[in-house]
């Protein structure tokens, strides 16, 4: 592996992520967050994620 391969792989992954992001925006899969509301928005996402984890844990059969 030459020294430039890891950097090239990182660049390719970043380009692919950017393309996916732009495709999501074009499809309407995004949220506009007003200035000053970002921290509250992130807190809401954290709550939703925690609830999803708790719900999945409850669904796991116990042996």
Residue 52 sits in which domain range?
31-63
Question: In the structure encoding, which two tokens stand for residue 9, read together?
Answer: 């792989």
The confidence score (pLDDT) of residue 2 equals 81
Total domains in the fold of the chain: 2
31-60 pLDDT tens trace: 899 999 999 999 999 999 999 888 877 777
- Same domain, yes or no, for 24 and 35? no
62 and 36 housed in the same domain: yes
Tell me the pLDDT band of 63, cut-offs 50, 70 and 90.
low
Question: Comparing 21 with 60, which gets the higher pLDDT?
Answer: 21
Q: DSSP assignment, residue 1?
A: -
Task: Clarify whether residues 20 and 48 are in a common domain.
Answer: no
Residue 55's contacts (CB-CB under 8 Å, 6 or more residues apart) are: none
Judgement on whether residues 36 and 10 belong to the same structural domain of the protein: no
Q: Are residues 23 and 39 in the same domain?
A: no
What is the pTM for the complete model shown? 0.50
Give the mean pLDDT of 6-21.
95
Task: Quote the percentage of the chain above a pLDDT of 70.
Answer: 97
């Amino acid at each position: 592996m030459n020294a430039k391969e890891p950097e090239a792989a990182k660049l390719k992954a970043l380009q692919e992520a950017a393309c996916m992001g732009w495709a999501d925006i074009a499809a309407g899969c995004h949220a506009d967050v007003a200035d000053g509301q970002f921290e509250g928005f992130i807190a809401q996402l954290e709550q939703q994620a925690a609830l999803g984890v708790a719900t999945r844990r409850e669904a796991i059969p116990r042996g």
